[in-house]
Chains A and B, each alone.
Chain A
Protein backbone atom coordinates (compact mmCIF):
# COMPACT_ATOMS: atom_id res chain seq x y z
CA UNK A 1 0.00 0.00 0.00
CA UNK A 2 1.24 3.44 -0.77
CA UNK A 3 0.20 7.06 -0.82
CA UNK A 4 1.06 8.61 -4.17
CA UNK A 5 1.79 12.34 -4.08
CA UNK A 6 1.78 14.40 -7.27
CA UNK A 7 4.03 17.47 -7.17
CA UNK A 8 4.20 20.46 -9.50
CA UNK A 9 7.48 21.64 -10.94
CA UNK A 10 8.21 25.18 -12.05
CA UNK A 11 11.35 25.67 -14.13
CA UNK A 12 12.99 22.62 -12.59
CA UNK A 13 12.10 23.47 -8.99
CA UNK A 14 9.46 21.87 -6.81
CA UNK A 15 6.78 24.47 -6.09
CA UNK A 16 6.59 25.49 -2.46
CA UNK A 17 2.94 24.54 -2.24
CA UNK A 18 3.88 21.08 -3.55
CA UNK A 19 6.45 20.61 -0.77
CA UNK A 20 3.53 21.16 1.59
CA UNK A 21 1.59 18.53 -0.35
CA UNK A 22 4.48 16.11 0.13
CA UNK A 23 4.47 16.75 3.89
CA UNK A 24 0.71 16.22 3.94
CA UNK A 25 0.92 13.00 1.94
CA UNK A 26 3.73 11.66 4.13
CA UNK A 27 1.62 12.25 7.24
CA UNK A 28 -1.30 10.39 5.65
CA UNK A 29 1.06 7.54 4.73
CA UNK A 30 2.25 7.33 8.33
CA UNK A 31 -1.39 7.21 9.51
CA UNK A 32 -2.20 4.23 7.27
CA UNK A 33 1.19 2.47 7.53
CA UNK A 34 1.85 3.04 3.87
CA UNK A 35 4.78 4.23 1.87
CA UNK A 36 4.94 7.88 0.73
CA UNK A 37 5.82 7.91 -2.96
CA UNK A 38 6.12 11.13 -4.94
CA UNK A 39 5.42 11.46 -8.65
CA UNK A 40 7.27 14.27 -10.42
CA UNK A 41 6.58 14.87 -14.10
CA UNK A 42 8.83 17.14 -16.14
CA UNK A 43 12.41 18.28 -15.96
CA UNK A 44 14.17 18.64 -12.62
CA UNK A 45 17.57 17.68 -11.25
CA UNK A 46 17.94 14.76 -8.86
CA UNK A 47 19.29 17.14 -6.23
CA UNK A 48 16.05 19.13 -6.44
CA UNK A 49 13.79 16.05 -6.32
CA UNK A 50 15.65 14.59 -3.33
CA UNK A 51 14.21 17.49 -1.33
CA UNK A 52 10.89 15.63 -1.24
CA UNK A 53 12.65 13.33 1.24
CA UNK A 54 13.08 16.17 3.72
CA UNK A 55 9.32 16.48 3.78
CA UNK A 56 8.81 12.78 4.42
CA UNK A 57 8.73 11.03 1.03
CA UNK A 58 10.64 7.76 0.69
CA UNK A 59 10.88 7.66 -3.04
CA UNK A 60 10.35 9.92 -6.04
CA UNK A 61 9.19 8.50 -9.35
CA UNK A 62 10.51 10.83 -11.99
CA UNK A 63 8.93 10.88 -15.45
CA UNK A 64 10.85 13.24 -17.71
CA UNK A 65 11.42 13.70 -21.42
CA UNK A 66 10.59 16.17 -24.12
CA UNK A 67 6.92 15.23 -24.43
CA UNK A 68 6.30 15.69 -20.71
CA UNK A 69 8.26 18.93 -20.32
CA UNK A 70 5.21 21.13 -20.88
CA UNK A 71 2.21 20.96 -18.50
CA UNK A 72 -0.40 18.62 -20.03
CA UNK A 73 -3.14 17.47 -17.69
CA UNK A 74 -4.33 14.69 -20.03
CA UNK A 75 -0.92 13.04 -20.32
CA UNK A 76 -0.04 13.73 -16.68
CA UNK A 77 -3.26 12.02 -15.54
CA UNK A 78 -2.37 8.99 -17.63
CA UNK A 79 1.14 8.91 -16.12
CA UNK A 80 -0.37 9.15 -12.65
CA UNK A 81 -2.71 6.22 -13.33
CA UNK A 82 0.26 4.11 -14.42
CA UNK A 83 2.31 5.14 -11.39
CA UNK A 84 -0.57 4.36 -9.02
CA UNK A 85 -0.87 0.87 -10.54
CA UNK A 86 2.85 0.20 -10.13
CA UNK A 87 2.87 1.46 -6.54
CA UNK A 88 -0.51 -0.02 -5.58
CA UNK A 89 -1.60 3.36 -4.30
CA UNK A 90 -4.87 3.55 -2.39
CA UNK A 91 -4.63 7.24 -1.60
CA UNK A 92 -3.56 9.84 -4.11
CA UNK A 93 -2.69 13.36 -2.96
CA UNK A 94 -2.36 16.42 -5.21
CA UNK A 95 -1.96 20.16 -4.59
CA UNK A 96 -5.09 22.31 -5.08
CA UNK A 97 -4.43 24.14 -8.33
CA UNK A 98 -5.76 24.15 -11.87
CA UNK A 99 -3.35 21.37 -12.76
CA UNK A 100 -3.93 19.37 -9.56
CA UNK A 101 -7.70 19.40 -10.06
CA UNK A 102 -7.45 18.57 -13.76
CA UNK A 103 -5.22 15.55 -13.17
CA UNK A 104 -7.33 14.34 -10.24
CA UNK A 105 -10.50 14.61 -12.33
CA UNK A 106 -9.25 12.55 -15.27
CA UNK A 107 -7.37 9.98 -13.20
CA UNK A 108 -10.24 9.49 -10.72
CA UNK A 109 -12.76 8.99 -13.53
CA UNK A 110 -10.47 6.31 -14.95
CA UNK A 111 -9.86 4.59 -11.60
CA UNK A 112 -13.52 4.94 -10.53
CA UNK A 113 -12.50 6.81 -7.42
CA UNK A 114 -13.95 9.54 -5.23
CA UNK A 115 -12.25 12.93 -5.23
CA UNK A 116 -12.36 15.48 -2.45
CA UNK A 117 -10.97 18.79 -3.61
CA UNK A 118 -10.07 21.68 -1.32
CA UNK A 119 -8.95 19.54 1.62
CA UNK A 120 -8.04 21.61 4.69
CA UNK A 121 -6.88 19.03 7.26
CA UNK A 122 -5.53 15.50 7.66
CA UNK A 123 -8.13 12.74 7.12
CA UNK A 124 -9.64 10.42 9.68
CA UNK A 125 -8.48 7.00 8.56
CA UNK A 126 -9.76 4.74 11.35
CA UNK A 127 -13.08 3.16 10.39
CA UNK A 128 -14.70 5.19 7.65
CA UNK A 129 -12.40 7.49 5.70
CA UNK A 130 -13.38 11.11 6.30
CA UNK A 131 -11.75 14.36 5.35
CA UNK A 132 -12.62 18.04 5.75
CA UNK A 133 -12.71 20.43 2.84
CA UNK A 134 -13.39 24.08 2.28
CA UNK A 135 -16.72 24.83 0.57
CA UNK A 136 -18.65 27.95 -0.49
CA UNK A 137 -15.33 29.60 -1.31
CA UNK A 138 -14.11 29.55 2.26
CA UNK A 139 -17.42 30.39 3.92
CA UNK A 140 -17.84 26.88 5.37
CA UNK A 141 -16.37 23.40 5.70
CA UNK A 142 -17.75 19.98 4.83
CA UNK A 143 -16.58 16.73 6.33
CA UNK A 144 -16.84 14.22 3.52
CA UNK A 145 -16.74 10.46 3.63
CA UNK A 146 -14.95 8.77 0.73
CA UNK A 147 -16.33 5.30 0.02
CA UNK A 148 -14.34 4.19 -3.02
CA UNK A 149 -11.33 1.92 -2.65
CA UNK A 150 -8.99 4.47 -4.19
CA UNK A 151 -9.26 7.98 -2.80
CA UNK A 152 -8.12 11.29 -4.24
CA UNK A 153 -7.35 14.22 -1.96
CA UNK A 154 -6.67 17.61 -3.54
CA UNK A 155 -5.10 19.63 -0.75
CA UNK A 156 -5.29 23.37 -0.09
CA UNK A 157 -2.35 25.47 0.99
CA UNK A 158 -1.94 25.71 4.80
CA UNK A 159 -3.80 22.39 5.35
CA UNK A 160 -1.02 21.41 7.74
CA UNK A 161 1.67 23.32 9.59
CA UNK A 162 5.19 22.51 8.48
CA UNK A 163 7.87 22.55 11.11
CA UNK A 164 10.84 23.69 9.01
CA UNK A 165 13.21 22.91 11.90
CA UNK A 166 11.97 19.34 12.18
CA UNK A 167 12.54 18.30 8.55
CA UNK A 168 14.20 14.97 7.74
CA UNK A 169 17.85 15.12 6.83
CA UNK A 170 17.67 12.18 4.43
CA UNK A 171 16.77 12.86 0.80
CA UNK A 172 14.37 10.67 -1.16
CA UNK A 173 15.64 8.03 -3.56
CA UNK A 174 14.96 8.91 -7.16
CA UNK A 175 13.60 6.26 -9.51
CA UNK A 176 13.21 7.03 -13.21
CA UNK A 177 9.70 6.26 -14.40
CA UNK A 178 9.01 5.62 -18.07
CA UNK A 179 5.28 5.47 -18.74
CA UNK A 180 3.77 4.54 -22.08
CA UNK A 181 2.36 7.73 -23.63
CA UNK A 182 -0.82 7.88 -25.71
CA UNK A 183 -0.96 9.97 -28.88
CA UNK A 184 -4.48 11.14 -28.04
CA UNK A 185 -3.14 13.10 -25.07
CA UNK A 186 -0.90 15.13 -27.36
CA UNK A 187 -3.53 15.93 -29.99
CA UNK A 188 -3.80 19.59 -28.97
CA UNK A 189 -1.19 21.94 -30.22
CA UNK A 190 0.16 24.53 -27.80
CA UNK A 191 0.61 27.63 -29.93
CA UNK A 192 1.86 30.06 -27.35
CA UNK A 193 2.57 30.47 -23.65
CA UNK A 194 2.62 33.95 -22.15
CA UNK A 195 4.04 33.97 -18.68
CA UNK A 196 5.11 36.95 -16.67
CA UNK A 197 8.77 36.07 -16.19
CA UNK A 198 10.51 36.60 -12.90
CA UNK A 199 7.24 37.54 -11.26
CA UNK A 200 6.38 35.92 -7.96
CA UNK A 201 3.29 33.74 -8.40
CA UNK A 202 0.26 34.71 -6.32
CA UNK A 203 -0.58 31.18 -5.26
CA UNK A 204 2.98 30.60 -4.04
CA UNK A 205 3.58 33.99 -2.42
CA UNK A 206 3.85 34.33 1.37
CA UNK A 207 3.05 38.05 1.19
CA UNK A 208 0.63 39.76 -1.20
CA UNK A 209 0.06 43.48 -1.60
CA UNK A 210 -3.22 44.04 -3.42
CA UNK A 211 -4.92 47.12 -4.81
CA UNK A 212 -8.52 48.08 -5.49
CA UNK A 213 -10.40 50.86 -7.19
CA UNK A 214 -9.21 53.15 -4.39
CA UNK A 215 -5.81 53.18 -6.13
CA UNK A 216 -7.52 55.47 -8.67
CA UNK A 217 -5.66 54.36 -11.82
CA UNK A 218 -2.78 52.32 -13.21
CA UNK A 219 -0.49 55.35 -13.06
CA UNK A 220 -0.62 55.20 -9.26
CA UNK A 221 0.47 51.59 -8.96
CA UNK A 222 4.14 52.37 -8.40
CA UNK A 223 3.55 53.12 -4.70
CA UNK A 224 2.01 49.67 -4.28
CA UNK A 225 4.76 47.96 -6.30
CA UNK A 226 7.38 49.68 -4.13
CA UNK A 227 5.87 48.27 -0.94
CA UNK A 228 5.62 44.85 -2.56
CA UNK A 229 9.26 44.91 -3.55
CA UNK A 230 10.35 46.10 -0.09
CA UNK A 231 8.46 43.14 1.44
CA UNK A 232 9.35 40.59 -1.25
CA UNK A 233 5.64 40.32 -1.99
CA UNK A 234 3.56 39.41 -5.03
CA UNK A 235 0.91 41.87 -6.22
CA UNK A 236 -2.80 41.30 -6.71
CA UNK A 237 -5.93 43.34 -7.38
CA UNK A 238 -9.71 43.40 -7.13
CA UNK A 239 -11.98 42.47 -10.03
CA UNK A 240 -12.86 46.01 -11.19
CA UNK A 241 -9.15 46.77 -11.40
CA UNK A 242 -8.51 43.94 -13.86
CA UNK A 243 -11.82 44.62 -15.64
CA UNK A 244 -10.63 48.19 -16.20
CA UNK A 245 -7.29 46.80 -17.46
CA UNK A 246 -5.35 48.68 -14.80
CA UNK A 247 -3.68 45.35 -14.01
CA UNK A 248 -3.46 42.01 -15.87
CA UNK A 249 -6.25 39.48 -15.44
CA UNK A 250 -4.05 36.90 -13.71
CA UNK A 251 -3.71 39.27 -10.73
CA UNK A 252 -7.47 39.30 -10.10
CA UNK A 253 -8.25 37.81 -6.69
CA UNK A 254 -11.62 36.66 -5.40
CA UNK A 255 -14.66 34.54 -6.04
CA UNK A 256 -14.24 34.71 -9.80
CA UNK A 257 -10.45 35.07 -9.74
CA UNK A 258 -7.54 33.47 -7.97
CA UNK A 259 -7.94 32.18 -4.43
CA UNK A 260 -4.89 32.96 -2.36
CA UNK A 261 -3.71 31.92 1.10
CA UNK A 262 -0.59 33.92 1.98
CA UNK A 263 0.74 34.58 5.48
CA UNK A 264 0.12 38.28 4.97
CA UNK A 265 -2.41 40.01 2.70
CA UNK A 266 -2.29 43.81 2.50
CA UNK A 267 -5.38 45.34 0.86
CA UNK A 268 -4.99 48.91 -0.40
CA UNK A 269 -8.15 50.77 -1.39
CA UNK A 270 -10.28 47.63 -1.60
CA UNK A 271 -13.74 47.86 -0.04
CA UNK A 272 -13.95 44.19 0.95
CA UNK A 273 -16.96 43.00 -1.03
CA UNK A 274 -17.94 39.46 -0.12
CA UNK A 275 -16.78 38.22 -3.54
CA UNK A 276 -13.32 39.66 -2.93
CA UNK A 277 -13.16 38.22 0.61
CA UNK A 278 -13.95 34.79 -0.81
CA UNK A 279 -10.55 34.78 -2.47
CA UNK A 280 -8.53 35.87 0.56
CA UNK A 281 -10.16 34.25 3.57
CA UNK A 282 -7.45 31.59 3.68
CA UNK A 283 -4.83 34.25 4.56
CA UNK A 284 -3.20 34.06 7.99
CA UNK A 285 -3.06 37.81 8.57
CA UNK A 286 -4.99 40.54 6.74
CA UNK A 287 -4.10 44.25 6.77
CA UNK A 288 -6.56 46.77 5.36
CA UNK A 289 -5.73 50.33 4.35
CA UNK A 290 -8.83 52.31 3.43
CA UNK A 291 -9.88 55.93 3.86
CA UNK A 292 -13.42 54.89 4.77
CA UNK A 293 -13.66 53.68 8.38
CA UNK A 294 -16.91 51.93 7.44
CA UNK A 295 -15.31 49.81 4.69
CA UNK A 296 -16.57 46.24 5.21
CA UNK A 297 -13.04 44.84 4.81
CA UNK A 298 -12.11 46.02 8.33
CA UNK A 299 -14.51 43.38 9.73
CA UNK A 300 -12.36 40.63 8.22
CA UNK A 301 -9.01 42.24 8.95
CA UNK A 302 -6.44 41.67 11.67
CA UNK A 303 -4.91 45.15 11.35
CA UNK A 304 -6.44 48.27 9.88
CA UNK A 305 -5.33 51.78 9.01
CA UNK A 306 -7.93 54.39 8.16
CA UNK A 307 -6.23 56.78 5.79
CA UNK A 308 -5.27 57.74 2.28
CA UNK A 309 -3.36 54.96 0.52
CA UNK A 310 -1.19 57.44 -1.33
CA UNK A 311 -0.03 58.94 1.91
CA UNK A 312 0.30 55.64 3.85
CA UNK A 313 1.97 53.40 1.24
CA UNK A 314 5.30 55.32 0.91
CA UNK A 315 5.62 55.46 4.68
CA UNK A 316 5.07 51.71 5.01
CA UNK A 317 7.61 51.12 2.24
CA UNK A 318 10.21 53.19 4.10
CA UNK A 319 9.47 51.37 7.37
CA UNK A 320 9.66 47.99 5.61
CA UNK A 321 13.01 48.86 4.05
CA UNK A 322 14.31 49.85 7.48
CA UNK A 323 13.72 46.37 8.92
CA UNK A 324 15.01 44.40 5.93
Chain B
Protein backbone atom coordinates (compact mmCIF):
# COMPACT_ATOMS: atom_id res chain seq x y z
CA UNK B 1 0.00 0.00 0.00
CA UNK B 2 1.47 3.31 -1.14
CA UNK B 3 -0.17 6.28 0.52
CA UNK B 4 0.30 9.97 -0.22
CA UNK B 5 -0.96 12.61 2.22
CA UNK B 6 -1.05 16.21 1.01
CA UNK B 7 -0.83 18.89 3.69
CA UNK B 8 -1.35 22.63 3.72
CA UNK B 9 0.58 25.10 5.85
CA UNK B 10 -1.97 27.56 7.22
CA UNK B 11 -2.41 30.15 9.98
CA UNK B 12 -3.61 28.66 13.27
CA UNK B 13 -7.41 28.80 13.60
CA UNK B 14 -7.14 31.48 16.31
CA UNK B 15 -4.99 33.83 14.16
CA UNK B 16 -6.01 37.38 13.56
CA UNK B 17 -5.86 37.91 9.82
CA UNK B 18 -4.40 41.17 8.47
CA UNK B 19 -2.79 42.24 5.20
CA UNK B 20 0.23 44.25 4.11
CA UNK B 21 1.59 45.86 0.93
CA UNK B 22 -1.55 47.85 0.33
CA UNK B 23 -3.76 44.82 1.00
CA UNK B 24 -2.09 42.61 -1.58
CA UNK B 25 -0.32 40.16 0.75
CA UNK B 26 -1.15 38.31 3.92
CA UNK B 27 0.69 39.72 6.90
CA UNK B 28 2.59 36.72 8.27
CA UNK B 29 4.14 38.62 11.18
CA UNK B 30 3.23 37.03 14.50
CA UNK B 31 1.08 34.37 12.83
CA UNK B 32 1.54 30.82 14.06
CA UNK B 33 1.41 28.27 11.23
CA UNK B 34 0.01 24.76 11.52
CA UNK B 35 -0.76 21.72 9.38
CA UNK B 36 -4.32 22.35 8.11
CA UNK B 37 -6.71 20.77 10.65
CA UNK B 38 -8.46 18.68 7.99
CA UNK B 39 -5.10 17.58 6.56
CA UNK B 40 -4.12 16.59 10.08
CA UNK B 41 -7.09 14.19 10.15
CA UNK B 42 -6.05 12.80 6.76
CA UNK B 43 -2.50 12.34 8.03
CA UNK B 44 -3.66 10.57 11.19
CA UNK B 45 -5.78 8.09 9.19
CA UNK B 46 -2.97 7.69 6.66
CA UNK B 47 -0.53 6.70 9.42
CA UNK B 48 -3.03 4.20 10.85
CA UNK B 49 -3.58 2.60 7.44
CA UNK B 50 0.13 2.51 6.69
CA UNK B 51 0.75 0.68 9.96
CA UNK B 52 -2.15 -1.71 9.40
CA UNK B 53 -1.18 -2.61 5.85
CA UNK B 54 2.59 -2.41 6.27
CA UNK B 55 2.73 0.17 3.53
CA UNK B 56 4.55 3.44 3.00
CA UNK B 57 3.39 6.98 3.53
CA UNK B 58 4.76 10.04 1.77
CA UNK B 59 3.75 13.51 2.79
CA UNK B 60 3.55 16.20 0.11
CA UNK B 61 3.37 19.94 0.46
CA UNK B 62 3.10 22.53 -2.27
CA UNK B 63 4.59 25.66 -0.75
CA UNK B 64 7.61 27.56 0.39
CA UNK B 65 10.45 26.64 2.73
CA UNK B 66 8.81 28.22 5.79
CA UNK B 67 6.52 25.16 5.87
CA UNK B 68 9.39 22.84 6.79
CA UNK B 69 8.60 22.72 10.55
CA UNK B 70 5.09 21.51 9.66
CA UNK B 71 6.51 18.97 7.18
CA UNK B 72 8.90 17.70 9.87
CA UNK B 73 5.94 17.42 12.23
CA UNK B 74 4.16 15.22 9.68
CA UNK B 75 7.29 13.06 9.48
CA UNK B 76 7.37 12.89 13.28
CA UNK B 77 3.73 11.77 13.30
CA UNK B 78 4.60 8.86 11.04
CA UNK B 79 5.22 9.73 7.39
CA UNK B 80 8.27 7.93 5.92
CA UNK B 81 9.43 10.68 3.62
CA UNK B 82 8.38 14.07 2.36
CA UNK B 83 8.27 16.05 -0.86
CA UNK B 84 7.98 19.83 -0.98
CA UNK B 85 7.14 21.46 -4.27
CA UNK B 86 8.80 24.80 -4.11
CA UNK B 87 6.08 27.26 -5.16
CA UNK B 88 3.51 29.52 -3.55
CA UNK B 89 0.14 27.76 -3.93
CA UNK B 90 -2.20 30.61 -4.80
CA UNK B 91 -4.56 28.78 -7.14
CA UNK B 92 -6.28 25.40 -6.77
CA UNK B 93 -5.62 24.34 -10.35
CA UNK B 94 -1.91 25.07 -10.03
CA UNK B 95 -1.71 23.10 -6.77
CA UNK B 96 -3.61 20.16 -8.26
CA UNK B 97 -1.32 20.07 -11.32
CA UNK B 98 1.73 19.83 -9.02
CA UNK B 99 0.25 17.03 -6.92
CA UNK B 100 -0.90 15.13 -10.02
CA UNK B 101 2.56 15.42 -11.58
CA UNK B 102 4.16 13.64 -8.60
CA UNK B 103 1.34 11.12 -8.32
CA UNK B 104 1.62 10.16 -11.98
CA UNK B 105 5.21 9.02 -11.41
CA UNK B 106 4.63 7.32 -8.09
CA UNK B 107 1.31 5.50 -8.61
CA UNK B 108 -0.07 5.83 -5.10
CA UNK B 109 -2.94 3.57 -4.08
CA UNK B 110 -4.45 6.21 -1.88
CA UNK B 111 -4.12 9.99 -1.94
CA UNK B 112 -5.49 11.65 1.19
CA UNK B 113 -5.86 15.31 2.01
CA UNK B 114 -8.16 17.56 4.04
CA UNK B 115 -11.62 18.33 2.69
CA UNK B 116 -10.47 21.95 2.34
CA UNK B 117 -7.62 24.22 3.34
CA UNK B 118 -8.59 26.67 6.05
CA UNK B 119 -7.02 29.63 4.26
CA UNK B 120 -8.83 29.56 0.91
CA UNK B 121 -11.61 27.12 1.90
CA UNK B 122 -12.10 25.98 -1.68
CA UNK B 123 -12.36 22.24 -1.25
CA UNK B 124 -11.61 21.55 -4.92
CA UNK B 125 -8.02 20.27 -5.02
CA UNK B 126 -8.90 16.60 -4.34
CA UNK B 127 -11.50 16.55 -7.11
CA UNK B 128 -9.11 18.20 -9.55
CA UNK B 129 -6.30 15.77 -8.74
CA UNK B 130 -8.72 12.86 -9.21
CA UNK B 131 -9.81 14.16 -12.60
CA UNK B 132 -6.23 14.86 -13.71
CA UNK B 133 -5.22 11.30 -12.78
CA UNK B 134 -8.42 9.80 -14.16
CA UNK B 135 -9.35 8.20 -10.83
CA UNK B 136 -12.32 8.63 -8.51
CA UNK B 137 -12.42 11.23 -5.77
CA UNK B 138 -14.73 11.56 -2.78
CA UNK B 139 -15.18 14.17 -0.05
CA UNK B 140 -15.82 14.83 2.80
CA UNK B 141 -14.84 11.41 4.10
CA UNK B 142 -15.65 10.74 7.78
CA UNK B 143 -14.67 7.08 7.86
CA UNK B 144 -12.35 4.97 5.75
CA UNK B 145 -11.74 1.23 5.94
CA UNK B 146 -9.66 -0.83 3.54
CA UNK B 147 -10.11 -4.44 2.57
CA UNK B 148 -7.61 -5.46 -0.09
CA UNK B 149 -8.11 -2.97 -2.89
CA UNK B 150 -11.64 -1.99 -1.85
CA UNK B 151 -12.29 1.05 0.30
CA UNK B 152 -15.44 1.48 2.36
CA UNK B 153 -16.06 5.17 2.67
CA UNK B 154 -18.53 7.07 4.83
CA UNK B 155 -19.12 10.48 3.38
CA UNK B 156 -21.04 13.35 4.93
CA UNK B 157 -23.94 14.55 2.81
CA UNK B 158 -26.48 17.28 3.50
CA UNK B 159 -28.28 16.15 6.69
CA UNK B 160 -26.71 12.73 6.97
CA UNK B 161 -24.21 10.31 5.49
CA UNK B 162 -23.62 8.02 2.55
CA UNK B 163 -21.66 4.78 2.69
CA UNK B 164 -20.01 3.57 -0.47
CA UNK B 165 -17.54 0.97 -1.64
CA UNK B 166 -14.99 1.95 -4.27
CA UNK B 167 -11.84 0.42 -5.69
CA UNK B 168 -8.39 1.90 -5.26
CA UNK B 169 -6.71 4.05 -6.41
CA UNK B 170 -8.68 6.92 -4.91
CA UNK B 171 -8.29 10.55 -3.92
CA UNK B 172 -10.13 11.43 -0.72
CA UNK B 173 -10.86 14.71 1.06
CA UNK B 174 -10.99 13.93 4.79
CA UNK B 175 -12.62 15.38 7.89
CA UNK B 176 -13.32 14.27 11.43
CA UNK B 177 -14.06 11.75 12.85
CA UNK B 178 -11.93 9.76 10.38
CA UNK B 179 -9.19 9.53 13.03
CA UNK B 180 -7.99 11.38 16.10
CA UNK B 181 -5.31 14.01 15.57
CA UNK B 182 -1.91 12.54 16.44
CA UNK B 183 0.68 14.30 18.57
CA UNK B 184 4.28 13.40 17.71
CA UNK B 185 6.20 11.59 20.46
CA UNK B 186 9.88 12.08 21.33
CA UNK B 187 11.06 9.14 19.25
CA UNK B 188 9.05 10.42 16.27
CA UNK B 189 10.57 13.87 16.59
CA UNK B 190 14.09 12.41 16.73
CA UNK B 191 13.66 10.14 13.70
CA UNK B 192 11.91 12.87 11.71
CA UNK B 193 15.14 14.87 11.61
CA UNK B 194 16.83 12.32 9.40
CA UNK B 195 13.89 11.24 7.24
CA UNK B 196 14.25 12.33 3.60
CA UNK B 197 12.67 15.63 2.56
CA UNK B 198 12.99 16.18 -1.16
CA UNK B 199 12.49 19.66 -2.62
CA UNK B 200 11.37 19.75 -6.23
CA UNK B 201 10.64 22.67 -8.52
CA UNK B 202 7.06 23.00 -9.84
CA UNK B 203 6.08 21.80 -13.30
CA UNK B 204 5.10 24.56 -15.69
CA UNK B 205 1.39 25.23 -16.03
CA UNK B 206 -0.94 28.04 -17.05
CA UNK B 207 -2.09 30.42 -14.34
CA UNK B 208 -5.87 30.14 -14.14
CA UNK B 209 -6.55 32.59 -11.35
CA UNK B 210 -4.70 34.85 -8.95
CA UNK B 211 -5.74 36.93 -5.95
CA UNK B 212 -5.27 40.63 -6.65
CA UNK B 213 -6.44 42.27 -3.42
CA UNK B 214 -7.61 41.36 0.06
CA UNK B 215 -10.05 43.02 2.43
CA UNK B 216 -11.52 42.57 5.89
CA UNK B 217 -15.20 42.48 6.79
CA UNK B 218 -16.81 45.65 8.11
CA UNK B 219 -16.63 45.72 11.92
CA UNK B 220 -19.71 44.46 13.71
CA UNK B 221 -21.90 47.04 15.51
CA UNK B 222 -22.40 46.82 19.28
CA UNK B 223 -24.44 43.96 20.70
CA UNK B 224 -27.82 45.06 22.07
CA UNK B 225 -28.19 43.56 25.55
CA UNK B 226 -31.60 42.54 26.78
CA UNK B 227 -32.08 42.08 30.53
CA UNK B 228 -32.91 38.47 31.39
CA UNK B 229 -36.07 39.60 33.17
CA UNK B 230 -37.34 40.97 29.84
CA UNK B 231 -36.13 38.13 27.61
CA UNK B 232 -39.52 37.99 25.86
CA UNK B 233 -38.92 41.39 24.26
CA UNK B 234 -36.17 39.73 22.24
CA UNK B 235 -38.76 37.99 20.06
CA UNK B 236 -40.50 41.31 19.36
CA UNK B 237 -37.18 43.00 18.50
CA UNK B 238 -36.25 40.18 16.15
CA UNK B 239 -39.58 40.64 14.43
CA UNK B 240 -39.88 44.41 14.23
CA UNK B 241 -36.32 45.73 14.45
CA UNK B 242 -34.06 43.06 12.96
CA UNK B 243 -36.90 41.78 10.73
CA UNK B 244 -35.67 38.22 10.80
CA UNK B 245 -38.83 36.52 12.11
Chain A residues in the interface with B (C-beta under 8 A): 10, 71, 73-74, 77, 97-98, 101-106, 108-110, 112-118, 130, 132, 134-148, 154, 184, 187-196, 199, 201-203, 206-207, 231, 249-250, 255-256, 263-264, 274-275, 278, 281, 284-285, 287-288, 298-308, 311-312, 315-316, 318-320, 322-323
Is B136 within 8 A of A187, CB to CB? yes
The A/B interface has a contact count, at CB < 8 Å, of: 277
The 7 closest A-B pairs by CB, nearest first: A105-B127, A114-B208, A307-B228, A195-B160, A105-B124, A109-B131, A114-B209
Q: Quick one: which of B161, B167, B177, B235 contacts A316, CB cutoff 8 A?
A: B235
- Give the nearest-CB partner of B213 in chain A: A143
Is B245 within 8 A of A255, CB to CB? no
**What are some 16 contacts across the A-B interface (CB < 8 A)?**
A102-B137, A109-B93, A112-B93, A113-B93, A115-B122, A130-B212, A144-B210, A145-B210, A201-B159, A249-B142, A250-B159, A264-B238, A303-B223, A303-B226, A319-B231, A323-B245
Given A102-B127, A147-B209, A193-B160, A304–B14 Cβ distance below 8 Å? no
Residues of chain B lying within 8 A (CB to CB) of residue A144: 209-212
Is B242 within 8 A of A285, CB to CB? yes
Smallest CB separation, A158 vs chain B (Å):
13
Q: Quick one: which of A98, A110, A187 contacts B140, CB cutoff 8 A?
A: A98
Residues of chain A lying within 8 A (CB to CB) of residue B244: 206-207, 263-264, 284-285
Residues of chain B lying within 8 A (CB to CB) of residue A201: 158-159
Q: A114-B209, A256-B176 are in contact. List 15 more A-B contacts (CB 8 A).
A: A73-B127, A115-B124, A118-B122, A135-B121, A139-B216, A142-B120, A146-B209, A187-B136, A189-B165, A195-B160, A199-B159, A203-B158, A256-B38, A303-B224, A322-B235
Smallest CB separation, B28 vs chain A (Å):
13
Residues of chain B lying within 8 A (CB to CB) of residue A206: 244
- Give the nearest-CB partner of A206 in chain B: B244
Q: Quick one: which of A130, A199, A302, A323 contacts B239, CB cutoff 8 A?
A: A323
Q: Scoring B residues 177 to 216 as 1 if CB is less than 8 Å from chain A, else 0, what string do you get? A: 1000000000000000000000000000011111111111
Looking at chain A's contact residues, the main secondary structure is: mixed
Smallest CB separation, A216 vs chain B (Å):
18
- Give the nearest-CB partner of B129 in chain A: A109
Is A188 within 8 A of B160, CB to CB? no
Residues of chain B lying within 8 A (CB to CB) of residue A284: 242, 244
Given A109-B128, A141-B217, A189-B166, A147–B207 Cβ distance below 8 Å? yes
Smallest CB separation, A259 vs chain B (Å):
8
Chain B residues in the interface with A (C-beta under 8 A): 11, 13-14, 17, 19, 37-38, 91-93, 96, 116, 118-132, 136-140, 142, 152, 156-167, 175-177, 206-217, 220-221, 223-228, 231-232, 234-239, 242, 244-245
Is A74 within 8 A of B136, CB to CB? yes
Given A146-B208, A147-B210, A274-B14, A320–B235 Cβ distance below 8 Å? yes
Residues of chain A lying within 8 A (CB to CB) of residue B228: 305-308, 311-312
Smallest CB separation, A173 vs chain B (Å):
29
Is A194 within 8 A of B13, CB to CB? no
Residues of chain A lying within 8 A (CB to CB) of residue B139: 98, 101-102
Residues of chain A lying within 8 A (CB to CB) of residue B160: 193-196, 250
CA distance A62 to B132 in the complex (A): 27
Is B158 within 8 A of A231, CB to CB? no
Is A148 within 8 A of B242, CB to CB? no
Given A97-B158, A189-B164, A143–B223 Cβ distance below 8 Å? no
CA distance A196 to B157 in the complex (A): 11
Residues of chain B lying within 8 A (CB to CB) of residue A98: 123, 139-140, 156-158
Given A194-B161, A263-B244, A143–B137 Cβ distance below 8 Å? no
Given A109-B131, A137-B118, A307–B125 Cβ distance below 8 Å? no
Residues of chain B lying within 8 A (CB to CB) of residue A132: 215
- Give the nearest-CB partner of B215 in chain A: A141
Smallest CB separation, B191 vs chain A (Å):
29
CA distance A191 to B161 in the complex (A): 11
CA distance A16 to B76 in the complex (A): 46
Given A104-B124, A117-B121, A305–B225 Cβ distance below 8 Å? yes
Is B140 within 8 A of A106, CB to CB? no
Given A147-B209, A189-B164, A306–B17 Cβ distance below 8 Å? no
Residues of chain B lying within 8 A (CB to CB) of residue A146: 208-209
Q: Quick one: which of A117, A140, A299, A302 contacts B122, CB cutoff 8 A?
A: A117
Is B128 within 8 A of A143, CB to CB? no
Residues of chain B lying within 8 A (CB to CB) of residue A154: 122, 124
Smallest CB separation, B141 vs chain A (Å):
11
CA distance A2 to B240 in the complex (A): 42
CA distance A320 to B232 in the complex (A): 8
Is A115 within 8 A of B93, CB to CB? yes
Residues of chain A lying within 8 A (CB to CB) of residue B124: 101-102, 104-105, 108, 115, 117, 154
CA distance A296 to B161 in the complex (A): 33
- Give the nearest-CB partner of A313 in chain B: B231
Is A106 within 8 A of B128, CB to CB? yes
Q: Quick one: which of A130, A193, A249, A278 contacts B13, CB cutoff 8 A?
A: A278
- Give the nearest-CB partner of B125 in chain A: A105
